[in-house]
Amino acid sequence: MDFGVAPEDEVFRSEVRDWLGAHAEAGVDRRSWERTLGADGWIGIGWAEGGYGNRTATLTQQVAWAEEYARSVAPPRSGHIGENLLAPTLIAHGSSEQKARFLPAVAAGDELWCQGYSEPGAGSDLAGVRTVAVREAGGYRITGQKIWTSLAHEADWCFVLARTEAGSRRHHGLSFLLVPMDQPGRIEVRPIRQLTGTSDFNEVFFDGAHARVEHVVGGEGNGWRVAMSLLGFERGVSTLAQQIGFAEELGRVVRDAVRSGAADDPVVRERLVRLWAELRVMRWNALRTLGNSAAEPGAPSVAKLLWAGWHQRLGELAVLVRGAAASVGPAGWSAAAPYELDAAQHLFLFSRADTVYGGSDQVQRTIIAERVLGLPREPKGAES
Protein backbone atom coordinates (compact mmCIF):
# COMPACT_ATOMS: atom_id res chain seq x y z
CA MET A 1 0.00 0.00 0.00
CA ASP A 2 1.46 3.36 -1.04
CA PHE A 3 1.39 5.92 1.76
CA GLY A 4 3.04 8.62 -0.33
CA VAL A 5 6.80 8.44 0.30
CA ALA A 6 9.46 5.74 0.43
CA PRO A 7 11.43 5.33 3.70
CA GLU A 8 14.75 6.16 2.02
CA ASP A 9 13.22 9.33 0.57
CA GLU A 10 12.02 10.35 4.02
CA VAL A 11 15.52 9.93 5.47
CA PHE A 12 16.91 12.15 2.70
CA ARG A 13 14.20 14.75 3.18
CA SER A 14 14.77 14.80 6.91
CA GLU A 15 18.47 15.50 6.29
CA VAL A 16 17.57 18.29 3.88
CA ARG A 17 15.19 19.85 6.42
CA ASP A 18 17.97 19.78 9.04
CA TRP A 19 20.35 21.47 6.60
CA LEU A 20 17.81 24.14 5.72
CA GLY A 21 17.11 24.81 9.36
CA ALA A 22 20.81 25.20 10.18
CA HIS A 23 21.38 27.55 7.27
CA ALA A 24 18.29 29.60 8.10
CA GLU A 25 19.90 30.36 11.46
CA ALA A 26 23.06 31.37 9.59
CA GLY A 27 21.16 34.02 7.65
CA VAL A 28 19.56 32.24 4.66
CA ASP A 29 16.13 33.56 5.63
CA ARG A 30 12.74 33.07 4.06
CA ARG A 31 12.69 36.55 2.53
CA SER A 32 15.85 35.70 0.59
CA TRP A 33 14.18 32.51 -0.59
CA GLU A 34 11.14 34.46 -1.83
CA ARG A 35 13.40 36.73 -3.85
CA THR A 36 15.18 33.69 -5.27
CA LEU A 37 11.84 32.24 -6.40
CA GLY A 38 10.84 35.59 -7.89
CA ALA A 39 14.11 36.02 -9.77
CA ASP A 40 13.71 32.55 -11.29
CA GLY A 41 10.14 33.24 -12.35
CA TRP A 42 8.26 30.97 -9.93
CA ILE A 43 5.92 33.47 -8.25
CA GLY A 44 2.63 34.41 -9.88
CA ILE A 45 2.70 31.72 -12.54
CA GLY A 46 -1.08 31.61 -12.62
CA TRP A 47 -1.67 35.33 -13.16
CA ALA A 48 -3.03 35.60 -16.67
CA GLU A 49 -3.77 39.32 -16.69
CA GLY A 50 -1.51 42.26 -17.45
CA GLY A 51 1.84 40.48 -17.47
CA TYR A 52 2.35 41.11 -13.75
CA GLY A 53 3.36 37.50 -13.01
CA ASN A 54 6.57 35.78 -14.06
CA ARG A 55 5.22 32.96 -16.23
CA THR A 56 1.96 31.96 -17.82
CA ALA A 57 0.71 28.52 -16.85
CA THR A 58 -2.42 26.45 -17.26
CA LEU A 59 -4.31 25.28 -14.19
CA THR A 60 -2.82 21.80 -14.66
CA GLN A 61 0.69 23.26 -14.77
CA GLN A 62 0.01 25.27 -11.61
CA VAL A 63 -1.06 22.07 -9.84
CA ALA A 64 2.08 20.27 -11.04
CA TRP A 65 4.31 23.08 -9.79
CA ALA A 66 2.59 23.26 -6.37
CA GLU A 67 2.78 19.49 -5.86
CA GLU A 68 6.42 19.23 -6.92
CA TYR A 69 7.32 22.13 -4.63
CA ALA A 70 5.69 20.27 -1.74
CA ARG A 71 7.59 17.07 -2.60
CA SER A 72 10.94 18.85 -2.87
CA VAL A 73 11.24 19.79 0.84
CA ALA A 74 11.90 23.37 -0.24
CA PRO A 75 11.60 25.98 2.55
CA PRO A 76 8.11 26.99 3.74
CA ARG A 77 6.76 29.96 1.81
CA SER A 78 6.37 33.33 3.51
CA GLY A 79 5.02 35.02 0.38
CA HIS A 80 1.99 32.80 -0.16
CA ILE A 81 -0.45 35.30 1.36
CA GLY A 82 0.54 37.96 -1.14
CA GLU A 83 0.72 35.55 -4.07
CA ASN A 84 -2.35 33.39 -3.47
CA LEU A 85 -4.72 35.75 -1.63
CA LEU A 86 -3.94 39.40 -2.30
CA ALA A 87 -2.87 39.07 -5.94
CA PRO A 88 -6.02 37.29 -7.23
CA THR A 89 -8.11 39.80 -5.27
CA LEU A 90 -6.34 42.75 -6.87
CA ILE A 91 -6.67 41.18 -10.31
CA ALA A 92 -10.42 40.79 -9.72
CA HIS A 93 -11.20 44.07 -7.90
CA GLY A 94 -8.16 46.36 -7.93
CA SER A 95 -7.58 49.46 -10.03
CA SER A 96 -4.93 49.49 -12.73
CA GLU A 97 -2.79 51.70 -10.46
CA GLN A 98 -3.09 49.24 -7.57
CA LYS A 99 -2.14 46.31 -9.78
CA ALA A 100 0.87 48.14 -11.21
CA ARG A 101 2.03 49.17 -7.72
CA PHE A 102 1.67 45.91 -5.81
CA LEU A 103 1.67 42.89 -8.15
CA PRO A 104 5.24 43.27 -9.52
CA ALA A 105 6.61 43.56 -5.97
CA VAL A 106 4.81 40.34 -4.95
CA ALA A 107 6.02 38.55 -8.08
CA ALA A 108 9.60 39.57 -7.34
CA GLY A 109 9.38 38.38 -3.73
CA ASP A 110 10.23 41.89 -2.53
CA GLU A 111 7.12 42.59 -0.42
CA LEU A 112 5.48 40.21 2.04
CA TRP A 113 1.85 40.45 3.16
CA CYS A 114 -0.34 39.46 6.10
CA GLN A 115 -4.13 39.29 6.44
CA GLY A 116 -5.97 41.60 8.87
CA TYR A 117 -9.37 39.91 9.19
CA SER A 118 -10.01 38.20 12.54
CA GLU A 119 -10.47 40.18 15.77
CA PRO A 120 -10.82 39.11 19.43
CA GLY A 121 -14.60 39.60 19.21
CA ALA A 122 -14.96 38.64 15.55
CA GLY A 123 -13.00 35.53 14.69
CA SER A 124 -14.86 33.47 12.15
CA ASP A 125 -17.71 36.02 12.14
CA LEU A 126 -16.03 38.64 9.97
CA ALA A 127 -19.17 40.77 9.77
CA GLY A 128 -18.61 41.65 13.43
CA VAL A 129 -15.31 43.49 12.91
CA ARG A 130 -14.87 46.62 15.03
CA THR A 131 -11.61 48.02 13.69
CA VAL A 132 -12.41 51.57 12.53
CA ALA A 133 -10.89 53.57 9.67
CA VAL A 134 -11.73 57.29 9.74
CA ARG A 135 -11.30 59.36 6.58
CA GLU A 136 -8.73 62.14 6.83
CA ALA A 137 -6.68 64.21 4.40
CA GLY A 138 -5.16 61.88 1.84
CA GLY A 139 -6.18 58.65 3.53
CA TYR A 140 -7.58 56.88 6.60
CA ARG A 141 -6.65 56.73 10.29
CA ILE A 142 -7.07 53.14 11.53
CA THR A 143 -7.73 52.13 15.14
CA GLY A 144 -8.43 48.62 16.40
CA GLN A 145 -6.97 45.16 16.91
CA LYS A 146 -6.52 42.07 14.75
CA ILE A 147 -5.58 38.62 16.01
CA TRP A 148 -4.26 35.28 14.68
CA THR A 149 -2.44 37.30 12.01
CA SER A 150 -0.05 34.89 10.30
CA LEU A 151 3.42 36.27 9.47
CA ALA A 152 2.60 39.78 10.70
CA HIS A 153 6.05 39.91 12.31
CA GLU A 154 7.64 39.52 8.85
CA ALA A 155 5.15 41.37 6.63
CA ASP A 156 5.70 44.69 4.86
CA TRP A 157 1.97 45.21 4.20
CA CYS A 158 -1.37 44.07 5.63
CA PHE A 159 -4.75 44.02 3.90
CA VAL A 160 -7.21 45.11 6.57
CA LEU A 161 -10.98 44.76 6.75
CA ALA A 162 -12.15 47.85 8.64
CA ARG A 163 -15.35 49.77 9.28
CA THR A 164 -15.30 53.07 7.36
CA GLU A 165 -18.96 54.07 7.84
CA ALA A 166 -19.78 55.33 11.32
CA GLY A 167 -22.71 53.49 12.91
CA SER A 168 -22.75 50.70 10.31
CA ARG A 169 -23.46 47.12 11.35
CA ARG A 170 -22.59 43.65 10.16
CA HIS A 171 -21.41 43.47 6.54
CA HIS A 172 -22.40 47.06 5.71
CA GLY A 173 -19.93 49.97 5.79
CA LEU A 174 -16.74 47.89 5.55
CA SER A 175 -13.72 48.64 3.36
CA PHE A 176 -10.70 46.63 2.24
CA LEU A 177 -7.57 48.70 2.98
CA LEU A 178 -3.92 48.12 2.07
CA VAL A 179 -1.84 49.22 5.05
CA PRO A 180 1.98 49.53 5.33
CA MET A 181 3.26 47.75 8.45
CA ASP A 182 6.30 49.99 8.98
CA GLN A 183 4.58 52.58 11.17
CA PRO A 184 6.40 52.73 14.54
CA GLY A 185 4.14 53.90 17.35
CA ARG A 186 1.05 53.34 15.22
CA ILE A 187 1.27 49.59 14.61
CA GLU A 188 2.41 47.08 17.23
CA VAL A 189 2.87 43.36 16.53
CA ARG A 190 2.83 40.91 19.46
CA PRO A 191 3.65 37.24 18.72
CA ILE A 192 1.32 34.61 20.21
CA ARG A 193 3.15 31.62 21.67
CA GLN A 194 1.38 28.37 20.82
CA LEU A 195 1.31 24.88 22.34
CA THR A 196 4.12 23.96 19.97
CA GLY A 197 6.38 26.60 21.53
CA THR A 198 6.50 28.55 18.26
CA SER A 199 4.83 31.85 17.33
CA ASP A 200 3.37 31.62 13.84
CA PHE A 201 0.45 33.91 14.68
CA ASN A 202 0.36 37.43 16.08
CA GLU A 203 -1.80 40.13 17.61
CA VAL A 204 -1.68 43.41 15.68
CA PHE A 205 -2.68 46.71 17.31
CA PHE A 206 -3.52 49.73 15.14
CA ASP A 207 -3.30 53.03 16.99
CA GLY A 208 -3.89 55.74 14.42
CA ALA A 209 -2.19 53.82 11.60
CA HIS A 210 -2.38 55.53 8.21
CA ALA A 211 -3.57 54.10 4.88
CA ARG A 212 -3.60 56.16 1.71
CA VAL A 213 -6.97 56.78 0.12
CA GLU A 214 -5.89 55.22 -3.19
CA HIS A 215 -5.20 51.97 -1.35
CA VAL A 216 -8.87 51.06 -0.87
CA VAL A 217 -9.62 48.02 -3.03
CA GLY A 218 -13.04 47.90 -4.69
CA GLY A 219 -14.11 51.30 -3.40
CA GLU A 220 -15.12 52.52 0.04
CA GLY A 221 -17.96 50.53 1.60
CA ASN A 222 -17.45 47.52 -0.68
CA GLY A 223 -15.11 45.65 1.66
CA TRP A 224 -17.47 42.78 2.36
CA ARG A 225 -17.74 41.86 -1.31
CA VAL A 226 -13.96 42.04 -1.76
CA ALA A 227 -13.29 40.10 1.45
CA MET A 228 -15.65 37.28 0.47
CA SER A 229 -14.06 37.12 -2.97
CA LEU A 230 -10.64 36.72 -1.34
CA LEU A 231 -11.85 33.83 0.82
CA GLY A 232 -12.84 32.04 -2.38
CA PHE A 233 -9.18 32.14 -3.47
CA GLU A 234 -7.98 30.74 -0.14
CA ARG A 235 -8.56 27.13 -1.03
CA GLY A 236 -7.61 26.03 -4.52
CA VAL A 237 -4.39 24.71 -6.02
CA SER A 238 -2.74 24.95 -2.58
CA THR A 239 -5.11 22.27 -1.26
CA LEU A 240 -3.55 19.66 -3.53
CA ALA A 241 -0.04 20.66 -2.45
CA GLN A 242 -1.17 20.47 1.17
CA GLN A 243 -2.25 16.88 0.59
CA ILE A 244 1.28 15.94 -0.52
CA GLY A 245 2.47 17.02 2.91
CA PHE A 246 -0.35 15.05 4.52
CA ALA A 247 0.75 11.91 2.64
CA GLU A 248 4.29 12.31 3.96
CA GLU A 249 3.00 12.71 7.52
CA LEU A 250 0.84 9.61 7.14
CA GLY A 251 3.86 7.69 5.84
CA ARG A 252 5.83 8.62 8.98
CA VAL A 253 2.98 7.50 11.23
CA VAL A 254 2.83 4.14 9.43
CA ARG A 255 6.55 3.60 9.90
CA ASP A 256 6.33 4.57 13.58
CA ALA A 257 3.50 2.06 14.00
CA VAL A 258 5.62 -0.69 12.44
CA ARG A 259 8.66 0.15 14.59
CA SER A 260 6.68 0.32 17.83
CA GLY A 261 4.64 -2.82 17.14
CA ALA A 262 1.38 -0.84 17.18
CA ALA A 263 0.75 -1.98 13.60
CA ASP A 264 0.08 -5.49 14.96
CA ASP A 265 -3.11 -4.13 16.55
CA PRO A 266 -6.03 -4.63 14.10
CA VAL A 267 -7.74 -1.49 15.40
CA VAL A 268 -4.66 0.61 14.62
CA ARG A 269 -4.35 -0.98 11.18
CA GLU A 270 -7.99 -0.17 10.46
CA ARG A 271 -7.45 3.47 11.46
CA LEU A 272 -4.37 3.74 9.25
CA VAL A 273 -6.17 2.30 6.23
CA ARG A 274 -9.15 4.57 6.83
CA LEU A 275 -6.89 7.64 6.93
CA TRP A 276 -5.22 6.52 3.70
CA ALA A 277 -8.58 6.04 1.97
CA GLU A 278 -9.93 9.37 3.22
CA LEU A 279 -6.82 11.17 1.93
CA ARG A 280 -7.43 9.67 -1.51
CA VAL A 281 -11.04 10.84 -1.41
CA MET A 282 -9.92 14.36 -0.46
CA ARG A 283 -7.60 14.46 -3.46
CA TRP A 284 -10.31 13.29 -5.86
CA ASN A 285 -12.72 15.86 -4.42
CA ALA A 286 -10.13 18.63 -4.77
CA LEU A 287 -9.47 17.69 -8.39
CA ARG A 288 -13.21 17.49 -9.10
CA THR A 289 -13.89 21.01 -7.81
CA LEU A 290 -10.64 22.67 -8.91
CA GLY A 291 -11.38 25.87 -10.82
CA ASN A 292 -15.13 25.32 -10.45
CA SER A 293 -15.88 26.89 -7.06
CA ALA A 294 -18.41 29.32 -8.58
CA ALA A 295 -20.58 26.40 -9.65
CA GLU A 296 -20.29 24.76 -6.22
CA PRO A 297 -20.48 27.49 -3.56
CA GLY A 298 -20.06 25.05 -0.68
CA ALA A 299 -16.95 23.34 -2.09
CA PRO A 300 -14.37 25.32 -0.08
CA SER A 301 -16.28 24.70 3.16
CA VAL A 302 -16.58 20.97 2.45
CA ALA A 303 -12.86 20.79 1.72
CA LYS A 304 -11.98 22.60 4.95
CA LEU A 305 -14.19 20.30 7.01
CA LEU A 306 -12.65 17.21 5.40
CA TRP A 307 -8.98 18.04 5.83
CA ALA A 308 -9.19 19.70 9.25
CA GLY A 309 -10.85 16.73 10.93
CA TRP A 310 -8.63 14.28 9.03
CA HIS A 311 -5.46 16.06 10.12
CA GLN A 312 -6.53 16.07 13.77
CA ARG A 313 -7.23 12.33 13.67
CA LEU A 314 -3.80 11.76 12.12
CA GLY A 315 -2.16 13.77 14.92
CA GLU A 316 -3.96 11.73 17.55
CA LEU A 317 -2.85 8.49 15.92
CA ALA A 318 0.73 9.77 15.56
CA VAL A 319 1.16 9.91 19.34
CA LEU A 320 -0.95 6.79 19.99
CA VAL A 321 1.33 4.51 17.95
CA ARG A 322 4.39 5.84 19.80
CA GLY A 323 3.02 4.84 23.18
CA ALA A 324 4.78 6.22 26.26
CA ALA A 325 7.68 7.45 24.08
CA ALA A 326 5.37 10.13 22.66
CA SER A 327 5.57 12.01 25.98
CA VAL A 328 9.36 12.39 25.82
CA GLY A 329 10.89 15.21 23.81
CA PRO A 330 13.91 14.87 21.52
CA ALA A 331 16.12 17.00 23.80
CA GLY A 332 16.36 18.01 27.41
CA TRP A 333 14.67 21.22 28.47
CA SER A 334 14.40 23.61 31.39
CA ALA A 335 12.11 26.42 32.43
CA ALA A 336 14.67 28.88 31.07
CA ALA A 337 14.85 27.39 27.55
CA PRO A 338 12.21 26.72 24.88
CA TYR A 339 11.19 23.09 24.66
CA GLU A 340 11.61 21.04 21.52
CA LEU A 341 9.11 18.72 19.85
CA ASP A 342 9.63 15.89 17.42
CA ALA A 343 7.55 15.64 14.23
CA ALA A 344 4.77 13.51 15.78
CA GLN A 345 4.40 15.74 18.84
CA HIS A 346 4.31 18.88 16.71
CA LEU A 347 1.70 17.30 14.43
CA PHE A 348 -0.51 16.38 17.38
CA LEU A 349 -0.34 19.77 19.09
CA PHE A 350 -0.51 22.01 16.03
CA SER A 351 -3.39 20.09 14.44
CA ARG A 352 -5.60 20.92 17.45
CA ALA A 353 -6.05 24.34 15.81
CA ASP A 354 -6.99 22.96 12.38
CA THR A 355 -10.72 22.94 13.11
CA VAL A 356 -10.61 26.57 14.30
CA TYR A 357 -8.34 28.70 12.09
CA GLY A 358 -9.36 29.55 8.53
CA GLY A 359 -13.01 29.36 9.58
CA SER A 360 -14.11 27.04 12.37
CA ASP A 361 -15.98 23.79 11.69
CA GLN A 362 -19.15 25.36 13.06
CA VAL A 363 -18.91 28.26 10.61
CA GLN A 364 -18.22 25.92 7.67
CA ARG A 365 -21.32 23.88 8.52
CA THR A 366 -23.40 27.07 8.75
CA ILE A 367 -22.17 28.13 5.28
CA ILE A 368 -23.12 24.75 3.83
CA ALA A 369 -26.52 24.81 5.55
CA GLU A 370 -27.44 28.31 4.38
CA ARG A 371 -25.81 28.61 0.95
CA VAL A 372 -26.04 25.04 -0.31
CA LEU A 373 -28.96 23.40 1.49
CA GLY A 374 -31.06 26.57 1.68
CA LEU A 375 -31.84 26.20 5.38
CA PRO A 376 -33.01 29.25 7.40
CA ARG A 377 -30.23 31.68 8.23
CA GLU A 378 -28.69 31.50 11.67
CA PRO A 379 -29.97 34.38 13.86
CA LYS A 380 -27.28 37.00 14.54
CA GLY A 381 -29.02 38.90 17.31
CA ALA A 382 -29.86 42.58 17.35
CA GLU A 383 -27.07 43.50 14.93
CA SER A 384 -28.51 41.50 12.03
Instruction: Report the range of poorest mean pLDDT among 25-29, 68-72, 165-169, 234-238.
Output: 25-29
Q: Tell how far CA 190 is from the center of its chain.
A: 19
* Beta-bridge partner residues of 136: 139
Please report, rounded to a whole number, the percentage of residues in the chain having pLDDT higher than 90: 25
Q: Comparing C-alpha atoms, which of 357, 241, 235 is closest to residue 297?
A: 235
Q: Are 52 and 107 in contact (CB under 8 A)?
A: yes
Q: Rounded to an integer, what distance in angstroms lies between the CA atom of residue 53 and that of residue 105?
A: 10
Tell me what the pLDDT averaged over the chain comes to: 81
Q: Rounded to an integer, what distance in angstroms lies between the CA atom of residue 67 and that of residue 121?
A: 37
pTM for the whole structure: 0.78
How many residues in the chain?
A: 384
pLDDT, tens digit, 9 for 90 and up, residues 63-107:
888 888 888 777 778 888 898 889 889 988 989 899 999 999 999
In the chain, how long is the greatest CA-to-CA distance? Answer: 71
Q: Are 206 and 129 in contact (CB under 8 A)?
A: no
Q: Rounded to an integer, what distance in angstroms lies between the CA atom of residue 321 and that of residue 265?
A: 10
Coil, strand or helix: which one is 132? strand
* Active site (catalytic) residues: 234
Q: Rounded to an integer, what distance in angstroms lies between the CA atom of residue 282 and that of residue 298?
A: 15
pLDDT, tens digit, 9 for 90 and up, residues 272-289:
999 999 999 988 888 887
Q: Is 261 exposed, middle or buried (0-12, 13-18, 19+ CB in 10 A)?
A: exposed
Of residues 168 and 23, more confidently modeled: 168
Q: How many helices and strands (H and E) does the chain possess? A: 12, 8
Q: Are 161 and 117 in contact (CB under 8 A)?
A: yes
